[in-house]
Amino acid sequence: MSTHTPSASNAGHTRPGRSWRGALALALGLTLSGCPEAPPPEPSPDMRLEVGAGREQFTPLAEGDTLWIQQGCQGSQHMFVSLRAWGLPSDPVLVELSLTRTDDGKKVSASYRVRYLFAQGSGEEAPDELPGLLLQITDPDAAVGRTVRLSASVETDSGARVADVRTGPLQWGPPSCP
């Protein structure tokens, strides 16, 4: 039985071209794996957002106020969410809403991510408004009687973002159908 040991002349020698192929494979692998996700946009100091309730007009919500769920005319359950904002551009913005239970973080609303154009206000005393957004509650039995967190955010095309949150108990409200 013979053993082969590399001679000093070929020890550490690689075939020609092997190093550039390895570098090419590494570069290609990094390119195909994509770039890491960019961090979320910072809140804009020039924009403000307030989440509230209301079907036809904005109704302020204080922290701890009861949030009302309603039976819809076609059998689903929802909340009427209204927003008002200051410092938004006059272009449509991306609006996101969600409702989660505070005790375990479980989301109890349908996904809500839509581009809207706010009705333009005239300044501090008359902010931009977006009333009557319908946030569907997917499993009211898992949410009614519990403390929930209503979250809203707005993001502009330039990446400026602003958000607001209200937390309170969720209860059945009056019917919303005529």
Q: Is residue 72 part of a domain?
A: yes
Is residue 83 within 8 Å of residue 76, measured between CB atoms?
no
Specify the pLDDT at position 19. Answer: 54
pTM given for the model: 0.74
**Overall number of domains in the chain:** 1
CATH of the domain at 81: 2.60.40.2550
Q: Is residue 98 part of a domain?
A: yes
Q: Is residue 14 part of a domain?
A: no
* CA-to-CA dists, residue 20 to 33, 127, 178, angstroms: 20, 61, 74
Q: Is residue 167 part of a domain?
A: yes
Q: Is residue 103 part of a domain?
A: yes
State the sign of the Cα–Cα–Cα–Cα dihedral 95, 86, 100, 62: negative
Q: Is residue 33 part of a domain?
A: no
Q: Is residue 23 part of a domain?
A: no
Over range 45-55, report the average pLDDT: 93
Specify the pLDDT at position 130. Answer: 96
Strands, E assignment, the chain: 48-53, 59-60, 67-71, 77-86, 93-101, 112-116, 128-136, 147-155, 161-172
* Distance, CA of 153 to CA of 155 (rounded, Å): 7
Its domain, for residue 160, covers 48-172
Q: Is residue 6 part of a domain?
A: no
Phi, psi (degrees; rounded to nearest 5) at 3: -115, 145
Residue whose pair of structure tokens reads 């375990």 in the numeric block: 104
Is residue 115 within 8 Å of residue 88, measured between CB atoms?
no
Least confident among 21-30, 64-73, 84-93, 101-110? 21-30
CA angle, 116 then 119 then 125, to 5°: 135
| CB count in 10 Å sphere of residue 151 | 18
Q: Is the pLDDT of residue 53 over 50?
A: yes
* Distance, CA of 21 to CA of 75 (rounded, Å): 62
Q: Is the pLDDT of residue 44 over 90?
A: no
